[in-house]
Amino acid sequence: MKFGLMCGATFGGIAIDDIVALAERAERAAFDSLWMAHVRSIDAIAALGFAGRVTSRIELGTAVTPTYPRHPMALAQQALTTAHACNGRFVLGIGLSHQRTVEGVLGLSYAHPARHMREYLSVLRPTLRGEVVTFHGQEFNINGLQLTVPGVKDVAVIVAALGEKMLALSGRLADGTNTWMVGPRTLENHIVPRLNAAARAAGRPTPRVIAGFPIVLTDAVTEARAKIARALEIYGQLPSYRAMLDREGYAGPGELALVGDEASLRAEIARLRAVGVTDFNASIAEVDPHAYARTFEFLAAVRHEYA
């Protein structure tokens, strides 16, 4: 199992200099990847391009970039450019976002999300490979589209998939899924088997399961969970995440978070590997002034044990 770090998962945003510094620090500590959430702040793909210029090994990916505001050609061009800046270490994580954002904020239709993603991937994937794309669907009509970026032959695509239809699409058309607000039982009994079955049926390689979790090393468990619950409250109100929390039997994000001493955190991480998680994506919760540094060092040590 690989180990990654997550940044930008709260709505306060994060500065480019901080992302670059975190990427450098994570690479020095031998983390496998750095994932950046795309919220209403700086563009995650562009920011990771800056991080790619000052690193040489660490994988850099979005978790995730919403598709509805971006034509697949525009997103492919941006992803290829960032992959070029990262010397091929960029992974494009995409997702639908949420109905309240797509319709309520952007004024776009969210009537057929699965169809949207199926057609989006049908255009995006061959465009990323530099193929000439002609596609006629209900969402997109493309005639002879082709992009060429020097030194980049393709970009891996990860889809945020939680429901059955989206997991099937991800298994058939993408390279895996990136989860958030999904607990271990749901990963084991829903996400992993459905995703893997779809990939097998399509004759594709075993997909990646990149599982994002809030995590903190602390003895003050109750207080830490309460702070995480307040910071991530919005995620428990969004229908797709709410459904995953309900599957797990959690009242909210505070219960989902991995919180505790070294022994308990090691056990939780080992459980995730056992249920089929290929990449553990740690969103370190800064519940006290030293929480980030303490948890970072712990995760770096555990990553070495898994190497």
C-alpha atoms less than 13 angstroms from C-alpha of 119 in its C-beta half-sphere:
16
> In this model, does residue 116 exceed pLDDT 90?
yes
What does the radius of gyration of the chain's CA atoms come to, in whole angstroms?
19
Angstrom CA distances, 73 to 127, 172, 238, 266, stand at: 7, 21, 28, 42
What's the confidence (pLDDT) of residue 200? 98
What's the confidence (pLDDT) of residue 121? 98
What's the confidence (pLDDT) of residue 10? 61
> In this model, does residue 267 exceed pLDDT 80?
yes
CA distance 60 to 24: 11
- Among residues 197, 155, 158, 1, which one has the least CA distance to residue 67? 158
For the chain, what percent of residues have pLDDT higher than 90? Answer: 95
* Residue linked to tokens 């958030």: 180
CA distance 134 to 298: 49
Q: What angle, 0 to 180 degrees and rounded to 10, lies between the N-to-C axes of helices 164-173 and 113-128?
A: 10
38 in Cβ contact with 44 (< 8 Å): yes
Mean pLDDT value across residues 200-227: 98
All structural domains of the chain, each given as residue ranges with its CATH number in brackets, are 2-306 (3.20.20.30)
Longest dimension (CA), the chain: 59
Per-residue pLDDT reduced to its tens digit, 279-289: 999 999 999 99
What's the confidence (pLDDT) of residue 13? 66
Helices marked H in the chain — which ranges?
16-28, 44-53, 72-85, 99-102, 113-128, 164-173, 184-186, 192-201, 221-231, 239-248, 253-256, 262-274, 291-306
For residue 228, the SS3 value is: helix
CA distance 188 to 209: 11
For the chain, what percent of residues have pLDDT higher than 70? Answer: 99
What's the confidence (pLDDT) of residue 270? 98
Type of residue numbered 297: E
Per-residue pLDDT reduced to its tens digit, 57-108: 999 999 999 999 999 999 999 999 999 999 999 999 999 999 999 999 999 9
Angstrom CA distances, 290 to 18, 34, 216, 285, 298, stand at: 17, 21, 10, 10, 12
Pairing of strands 33-36, 2-7: parallel
Mean pLDDT value across residues 274-297: 97
What's the confidence (pLDDT) of residue 291? 97
**What is the phi-psi region of residue 41: left when phi exceeds 0, alpha when psi lies from -120 to 50, beta otherwise?**
beta
What's the confidence (pLDDT) of residue 198? 98
> In this model, does residue 275 exceed pLDDT 60?
yes
Per-residue pLDDT reduced to its tens digit, 164-203: 999 999 999 999 999 999 999 999 999 999 999 999 999 9
What's the confidence (pLDDT) of residue 282? 98
What's the confidence (pLDDT) of residue 307? 81
- pLDDT mean across residues, the chain: 96
CB burial of residue 24 (10 Å; 0-12, 13-18, 19+): middle
CA distance 36 to 65: 9
For residue 130, the SS3 value is: coil
Per-residue pLDDT reduced to its tens digit, 7-34: 987 645 689 999 999 999 999 999 999 9
pLDDT band at 247 (very low <50, low <70, confident <90, very high): very high
